[in-house]
Structure 1
Amino acid sequence: MADDEIILSELSDDELVQQMHDDLYDGLKEEIE
C-alpha cells in the first residue's frame, strides 16, 4: 500500500467531508475545462 494513500477510517468526519469536497471539486473542474 502506498504511503500517500488516504486511509478513510483514520480521518475524522470533518477531514473526510473535506476530502470528499476536494474530490468533487477536482472532478467538476475537469468537466468545466
Structure 2
Amino acid sequence: MNSVILTDGGMGQELVRRSSSDPTPLWSARVLIV
C-alpha cells in the first residue's frame, strides 16, 4: 500500500516562498505531478 502525506496551507505557502519562480494559477498541480 502506498503511503499518504497530508499537507496544510502552511506547507503550500512555504513551497511558494522557496520557489525560484513566480507562482502560476496552477502551481499546486505542478508540485503534485513532480
TM-score scaled by length of structure 2: 0.36
- The answer to which structure, 1 or 2, has the higher relative contact order (CA under 8 A, 6+ apart) is 2
* Greater fraction helix: 1
TM-score, with normalisation over the residues of structure 1? 0.37
